[in-house]
Amino acid sequence: MHDIILCRSMTAAQRAAKILQRAGVFASVTKAPQSANPGGCTYGVKVGEHNLDRALAALRNAGVPFGRVYALYPDGALREVGV
């Protein structure tokens, strides 16, 4: 299963993905489902569930801001993950 770490923009998501890749965490930029952000379109980075803690630590270390984190279920459903 995958988790989505929300970022405030496409550019922020791209920066986050690059940092994660450098930290050895496979991450891809993805458009977040509308239900994840009532403010409108947003992007995030998708990481494997098993990599979430490592990913968040890498982003915090690099000082990259991120938003809420969601677990993405195979049917497309989302559930917020407390971090």
Partner 1 sequence: MIYLDSAATSLYKPEGVQLAVLDAINHMASPGRGSHAPAMAAAECCYNCREQLSRLFHVPSPEQVVFTFNATHGLNIAIRSLVRPGGRVLVSGWEHNAVTRPLHALGAELLVAAGELFSPEEFLRQAAAKLPRAEAVVCTHVSNVFGYVLPIGELAELCRRAGKPLIIDASQSAGVLDLDFAALGAEFVAMPGHKGLMGPQGTGVLLCKNSASPLLYGGSGSESMLQDMPEFLPDRLEAGTHNVAGIAGLSAALRYLLEHGTASVRARERELLELLAGGLAEAEGLRLFYAGAAALQSGVLSVLPEHMSCEALGEALDRAGIAVRSGLHCAPLAHRSAGTAATGTVRFSVSPFNTPRQLDRAVAECKKILGRG
- Contact between 51 and partner 1 (CB under 8 A)? no
Quick one: which of 35, 41, 73, 83 contacts partner 1 (CB under 8 A)? 41
Beta bridge partners of 71: 3, 79
Q: Which stretch binds partner 1 (CB under 8 A): 28-36, 51-59, 67-75?
A: 28-36
Contact flag: residue 15 with partner 1 (CB under 8 A) = yes
Stretch near partner 1 under the rule CB under 8 A, chosen from 41-49, 53-61, 74-82:
41-49
Closest CA to 68 of 2, 1, 5: 5
E-assigned strand segments in the chain? 2-7, 27-31, 43-48, 69-72, 78-81
Determine phi and psi for 48, rounding to 5 degrees: -65, 145
Asked if residue 21 binds partner 1 (CB under 8 A), the reply is no
Binding residues for partner 1 (CB under 8 A) = 8-12, 14-15, 18, 29-31, 38-43
